[in-house]
Amino acid sequence: MNQATNSNLPIRPLHLIRYALCVLLIVCTWLPIGSQNAQAAGGIQVTVLSVGYEQWGQPVNGCSQFNDRHPMRKFNMNLRVTNNTRRTLSATEWYAYSFVGKKLVRWTCYYPYQGEGFPAIPPGESRNVTFAAFVEPHESVTAVWVGRKGLWARACFDETLVVRCR
């Protein structure tokens, strides 16, 4: 599992930075919210397969251990990310970033499937990925951005519902 602690967007190379995006079979793209063209050439498409909260401990040492004495809300996100660009998105240049309001969530972890590392995505292909954002018990993830500098997909939330981004 990976973690990031960056506090600024847009972001330089994402190999040290990791965060989260979208909910419940909703398609999000880099196009303006409300766009009818979800398959736009030159973009990133994100389909939310499922999301949900559970109580968890605070991440310690990245995302490999958890402190159950400091309870957190864990926002689990199962996503399908499609690369509609003409070049491969390397594993070091894209990620998902979670927000509570305008504040970047400190811990968003990637959960690998069957021991695989963080995926590169060739042009025209998709990868299923799972992220978990850890927030305080009184907080909720309100937005997630997926992508790289200059190429972003975004989704906004009200708890586990996708809402129009403002």
pLDDT in tens, 102-128: 999 999 999 887 777 899 999 999 999
Residue 136 banded pLDDT, cuts 50, 70, 90 = very high
The overall pTM is greater than 0.95: no
- 33 vs 113: which has the higher pLDDT: 113
Domain ranges of the chain: 14-163
Instruction: Report, at the CATH architecture level, how domain 14-163 is classified.
Output: Sandwich (2.60)
Between residues 39 and 91, which one has the greater pLDDT? 91
Instruction: State mean pLDDT over 41-66.
Output: 86
Q: What is the pLDDT averaged over residues 81-95? A: 91
Collect contacts of 139-143 with beta carbons under 8 A, ≥24 apart: 139/73, 139/100, 140/53, 140/73, 140/75, 140/100, 141/20, 141/75, 141/98, 141/99, 141/100, 141/105, 142/99, 142/100, 142/101, 143/98, 143/99
